[in-house]
Structure 1
Amino acid sequence: MRNPSLLVADIGGTNARFALTEPGAAQPPLRYQQAVATADFASLRDAVEHYLGQLPGVEARPSRAVFAVASAVTGDAVKITNNPWAFSIRELGAQLRLDALDVINDFTAMASVLPVLHDADLQTIGNVARAPSPTAGAGERRCYAVVGPGTGLGVGGVIVERGRSVVIESEGGHVGFAPGTAYELELLRVLLPRFGRVSAERLISGTGLVNLYDAVRAVDGLPADPLTPPQISAAAERDPQGPAARTLQVFAELLGAFAGDVAMAFGAWDGVLLPGGVTQKLLPWIEAGGFRRRFEDKGRHGAILQRIPTQVILHPQAGLLGTAAYAAGLVLR
């Protein structure tokens, strides 16, 4: 017996999330959700087999799947960024006995979630009117950008036209870091010898938060103090004037500056959306004002950026839901 359900997965550098969904559903369900740490499995195949083995006995094995991965998908060979997993799409599909396996970029999935979000899934940052619904009606055309720091820094775009959403794939998180202040220039001077080329992701991501903290301490003349991202956040709460708090403040400003650049690059005049667990965890710092100030600080184009809404996606499984929306055929590709 073959299962008419679709297996969907959202696979990042740290976690892999799985669920079953239904094709053609207007609001795709996420049944039998499960998240696993990628470090616990030698390969993606092992993680998928583990998930399938946990399904209730009444569930037959799905015959089709869509996996969203933190990587550019340009051919059959896929290597996940910030994760040792690598695989052939064709071989993995055969190993899992799937009739069809579609692999997409994780921010294609994240951008695909826009049509199925509700108002409660979004929180506006700044004093700008809430972005119009991505589910635009016939005859309307809108453009959005999606920028999300997680294990890496994801970037995507969405054009909504004639009631359908078209996703624009991107690896924009790997563009070069552009300092916007004298202090940020000093941070770059610290990071250049270490990395050679410093991308935006080197600072604006979960792993980037550690790099940023190390650089802040160096620029401020403080000794090294290795901390994890959760430890940096905890230290910032304990000492609002200390280097950890300064790091989170700078992080929010860098994210705002980068999001504004992405808005201009895509022509995303209708809104920029910010998904990801890192964004949600740092929401108080993003709301504090530096994010929006730097988002709008674009010189001659500042007036345009002032009118662009920025919203944080609060849905806890936005990537997985976006993968399900893509799989259900709710977006064009």
Structure 2
Amino acid sequence: MMSDAGAAALTLLVDLGGTNVRFGVADPVLEAPLLPDSVRRYRVAEHESLVATARHYLEDTGLKVKRAVVAAAGRIDDGETVKVTNNPWAISARQTASELGLEAVHLVNDFAAQSMAVALLQRADLVQVGAPPLPTIGADEEQTFAVVGPGTGLGVGGLLVRQGHCSVLQTEGGHAGFAAHTHEDIAILDYLNQRFGRVSNERLICGQGLVNLYDALCNIAGTTAEPLLPEDITARAKDASDPLCVRTVETFAGIFGSVAGDLVLTLGAWDGVYLTGGLIPILLPWLERGHFRERFEAKGRFRDIMQKVPTQAIMNPEPGLLGAAALAVVESGRPLLRQP
């Protein structure tokens, strides 16, 4: 049975995306702070608000919490409010705390949380993509990592390790403009530009991005695109039943490699890139087949150094909650990284 002191230390964790909201609870005093049996997932469209869903979760689990860390897919304004991208909910930290009877609610960008998750990942949570070896977090006094992932949208974050302490860069880098590199890229950009106007990386590297790429490649090939969903495209690619679907996921992997490589140059993330998001487990076979690393490394005069930058896929099913748990540990005052 949990003591009152233990109950007082528990932190509600929320990973709020465009389609789903995930809840969990962290005990910051534990080496593995995310309580595995606490994880639940709900569909955003089936619930009125974050507060209503949180109440439902707490009733379901019977857990008692005093604080919350909310990782939301959107820009945090003054640490107090967020309008979630691809999601109708608007969140206020102060109002959420008041309505749930909590001492405090910490709002962070979802990829700030995903970036912090890196500090708690185990080797079993990672799959190496390419030849460079996986890094050890905290092995050097200064390390910089990029975290990027396609799901409902395209998230981008950064993790800075300085003298044993972790901090994150909260960005909306997924909305940076798409940079075409090949003749096919230029044709894709031209098609999507006519359709959408400005073309961001997220227009191509996310679930709907698969559909946009498929439509563009069909247009380039002079064929009529079928009304496919992202899961239709990946299923047809997996069983090789549709050459254009195969080409779509191959192209996706290549462009994703270019985007990830550009992040290394932009953030100075020479220590490595972590690939996360709901599409990663599905698309991992194509990421491993060469197109991703080929374009990741194709950075002109920086090719030699890019060949040494490791990329790894996060296979842990709850990186957002894990990152929120890492933030709960930091807020508790306990060191997040083990001291050498």
Q: TM-score range by the shorter chain?
A: over 0.9
Superposition pairs for residues 285-324 of structure 1, below 5 Å?
285-324=286-325
Match of 1:5 among 5, 10, 20: 10
Q: Find the partner of 1:49 among 28, 45, 55.
A: 55
Counterpart residue number, 1:169: 170
Secondary structure of residue in 1 paired with 2:39: strand
Aligned residue number for residue 148 of structure 2: 147
1:136, 1:162 within 8 Å by CA — same for their partners in 2?
A: no
CA 1:174 to 1:331, structure 2 compared with 1: closer, same or farther past 3 Å?
A: farther
1:201 Cα shift?
A: 0.5
Q: After the TM superposition, which residues 176-195 of structure 1 pair with which residues of structure 2 at under 5 Å, given as runs?
A: 176-195=177-196
Alignment of 1:224-235 (within 5 A): 224-235=225-236
Q: CA deviation at 1:221?
A: 1.0
Instruction: Return closer, same or farther for 1:8/1:222 CA change in 2, 3 Å cut-off.
Output: same
1:169 and 1:41 map into 2 onto residues whose CA distance is 27
Output the CA distance in 2 between the equivalents of 1:51 and 1:80. Answer: 20
Say which SS state the counterpart of residue 277 (structure 1) adopts: coil
Instruction: Give 1:241 deviation, angstroms.
Output: 5.8
Moved over 6 A (4+): none
Give the counterpart of 1:112 among 116, 134, 145: 116
Give distance in 1, aligned partners of 2:221 and 2:196.
20
Q: Which amino acid aligns with 2:315?
A: L
Structure 2 CA distance for aligned equivalents of residues 152 and 314 of structure 1: 18
Q: Which runs of 5+ in 2 are unaligned?
A: none
CA separation in 2, counterparts of 1:136 and 1:195?
45
Alignment length, in residue pairs?
Answer: 326
Q: Provide the residue aligned with 1:206 in structure 2.
A: 207
SS at match of 1:112: helix
- Percent of pairs with identical residues: 45
| Aligned mates of 1:208, 1:63 — CA distance in 2 | 39
Q: Secondary structure at the match of 2:222?
A: coil
Q: Secondary structure at the match of 1:83?
A: coil
| Pairs within 5 Å for 1:250-265 | 250-265=251-266
User: RMSD of the TM alignment (CA)?
Assistant: 1.6
Alpha-carbon contact 1:166-1:331 (below 8 Å) kept: no
- CA-to-partner distance for each residue in 1:36-55, whole Å, 9 max, x for gaps? 11111121122111111101
Superimposed CA distance per residue, residues 13-57 of structure 1 (whole angstroms, 9 cap, x where no aligned partner):
11111011112433213241101111111211221111111013x
Deviation at 1:240, TM superposition (A): 5.7
Aligned match for 2:33, one of 28, 44, 51? 28
Alpha-carbon shift at residue 116 of structure 1 (Å): 1.0
Gaps of 5+ in 1: none
Output one character per residue of 1:238-270: Cα deviation in whole Å (capped at 9) or x when no partner: 336611111000000011000000011111111
Structure 1 SS opposite 2:10: strand
Cα offsets for 1:88-138 (capped at 9, x unmatched)? 2221221111110011000110010111111111111112222x211336x
State TM-score, norm by structure 1: 0.94
Pick closer, same or farther for the CA change 1:331–1:200 going to 2, 3 Å: farther
Q: Shift of the alpha carbon at 1:331?
A: 5.8
Residue 94 and residue 260 in structure 1: after superposition, are their counterparts in 2 closer, same or farther (change >3 A)? same
1:132-156 per-residue CA deviation (whole Å, 9 max, x = no partner) reads 211336xx21111111111111111
Aligned partner of 1:328 in structure 2 is 329
- Which residue matches 1:82? 86
TM-score by length of 2: 0.92
Alpha carbons 1:109, 1:320 under 8 Å: kept:
yes
66, 71, 90: which one aligns with 1:68: 71
Instruction: Note if contact 1:16-1:35 (Cα within 8 Å) is conserved in structure 2.
Output: yes
Q: Distance in 2 between matches of 1:270 and 1:240?
A: 39
